[in-house]
Each structure stands twice: as C-alpha cells, then as structure tokens.
Structure 1
Amino acid sequence: MRQTLRVAAYAVCVRDDRVLLARSPAPGGSHEWVLPGGGMEHGEDPLDTVVRELEEETGYRVEVTGLLGIDSSRRVLGRGGLRGPVDHHGVRVVYEARVAGGELRNEVNGSTDLAAWHDLDAVAGLTRVRLVDVGLGLWRERPVDGRTHPPGH
C-alpha cells in the first residue's frame, strides 16, 4: 500500500468571543468550515506556512502568539483502482494567532471560498471538519503535551 505524508499549519484566531474560520467546498456540492491554514511547501517553516496561508485564505496578516499543539491523524484513502488505496498520515501544527493587519476578504481560486468570524457558542452547530474542534480544544485546554486526545484519533 502506498504511503503519503502531509504536514500543514493552521491557526486559531479568537477575538471578542468569535473564531475566524474559512469555508471549504466538500464532496457533493456541500461546504464545511475549517481552521484557516494549509499545507507546507517544501523547505518552508511551519510558522511561515501559517502566516502565508492565513493571508491567502482570509486577507489578514497575523502574528503568531503561541504554539497550541500538534494533531496527527492516519487513515486509508481510496478503494482500489489502478493505484490502490493510500495509507495517509496528516500532521497538523496548530498555532494561536492574532490579527495584526489587513482586511477580511474571501480567497479567490483557492481551497476555500469564504472567510468569516463565528461566535464560539455557534461553532457546534456548523458543518465543520474535526480539526476545528481539535484546535478549539487546544486553545481552551492548553495541554502541556499539545494533544487533546490520544494519537491517531
């Protein structure tokens, strides 16, 4: 089975009890909310990745104020075909950041199509990826080991 590894960096930006999220198109024409951020380019530092991705996806220039933790997930993708299934391992570095400048805007021709602030109390009602909950858990709990759950879950 082929193996892939993707390392990415994301930010939890909370201001006035609201969190900054980006909306990503999902399969079937639906959408799901994600933490702003994304994949590292070869040779790029994760901190530089999160600053670049936040500006691309939201229009904001951010200042990273802390490292919240690392989320690691592993799953098998695909069901056969010519290349067969893939054992995918994702490593996501989660930072805390604050807006330092720029104007809120939507990404054009990218992986997201909308950026918006959401009340923290309303996040549970959003269609969102698991990483939103992981990031907010790290932000709230500040675990010493940087994890809110056992690895691989």
Structure 2
Amino acid sequence: MAPYAVCVRDGQLLLARSPGPDGTPEWVLPGGGMEHGEDPYDTVRREVTEETGYRIEVTGLLGIDSHRLVGDPRVGRRLDHQGLRIIYEGEITGGELRHEVGGSTDFAAWHDLDAVPALTRIRLVDTALRLWRERPPHGRLADRPVPRQMNEG
C-alpha cells in the first residue's frame, strides 16, 4: 500500500521523475512507500517533502487505485503482485522546489496539465488526474484496467 498526492497549482501538476524498470526516466506522482506503523496521511506528506521539497496540506481523498500485475515465472518475475495506492489531493503550504538526493526520484517539476499526456509517465498519473477531474463519490473510476502480464511492454 502506498499513498500519493495530486498537487495542482495554476494549471500545473507537480510530478517527480524516477528511473523506470528499464532505466528510462518516467514521471510519477510524489508519494510512495509507507514505513511500518506509519499512517498513510503522514506518509504522503513526508514523501512529497522528500521528493519535491514542498510541504503540503492534504485537502481530500480522491480515491483508491488497486492494480494487479501477473508475472511470468519463466522470465524470473513474481507470479502475482497486487498494489493498493491511495490518492490524495494536496495543497502546497510551504517549502521550495528541490530535487531528492539519494532516494527513489531524482528530479521534481511542475508540468502544464495539457502537456502531461506527452510525458513518459506511469499509468497512475493518468488515473490520479482522472480521479482529480471526475471526483467520483465512491473514489473509484468506472473502467478498471484488466491485469497485465509483467513481461509485456
């Protein structure tokens, strides 16, 4: 389980850059791994600060993204993995934009919302933006993707 934040300001989305599975950089939402016993609310605030330099106030719960990756054991991948990602809305309350050093990301930047589709990004960015735009009352998008094989591109 991992919480992430959608921070939109002046028509721009705050993203962090992370090396993808093949080493190609890809844009991700700030957020990520919870420490044992940590509350997701505290995790997302800590992770945003670590990855971007900003402090945020959590202003809402946008939804939950559950995804399942089914791997092919013949290529050395996990047989089955399920991830649960909590998507919060966050408002910048302080700090200054900076890049994470020695962490899971190496760069942070604001991107125009219209430019996001052209970025190399993980699927969660699109899911989170849809939750932010549509704000389904149940916190779940109507069309959920089918599990994909981990050895597919």
Report the TM-score, using the length of structure 1 for normalisation: 0.89
Match of 2:57 among 54, 59, 63: 63
Counterpart of 1:3 in structure 2 is none
Counterpart of 1:49 in structure 2 is 43
Counterpart of 1:23 in structure 2 is 17
> Quick one: percent identity of the two aligned structures?
66
- Is 1:143 aligned to 2:133, yes or no? no
Aligned length: 146
After TM superposition, list the pairs within 5 Å mapping 1:1-150 onto structure 2: 7-77=1-71, 79-80=73-74, 85-150=78-143
Alpha-carbon RMSD = 1.6
Deviations 1:74-95 (A, max 9, x none): 112353478x633111000000
Answer yes or no: is the 8 Å Cα contact 1:74–1:152 preserved in 2. no
Quote the offset at 1:70 in angstroms. 0.2
Deviations 1:108-150 (A, max 9, x none): 0111110000000000000000000000000000001101144
Quote the offset at 1:27 in angstroms. 3.2
Gaps (5+ residues) in structure 1? Answer: 1-6
Gaps (5+ residues) in structure 2? Answer: 147-153
Separation (CA, whole Å) in 2 of partners of 1:81 and 1:132:
28
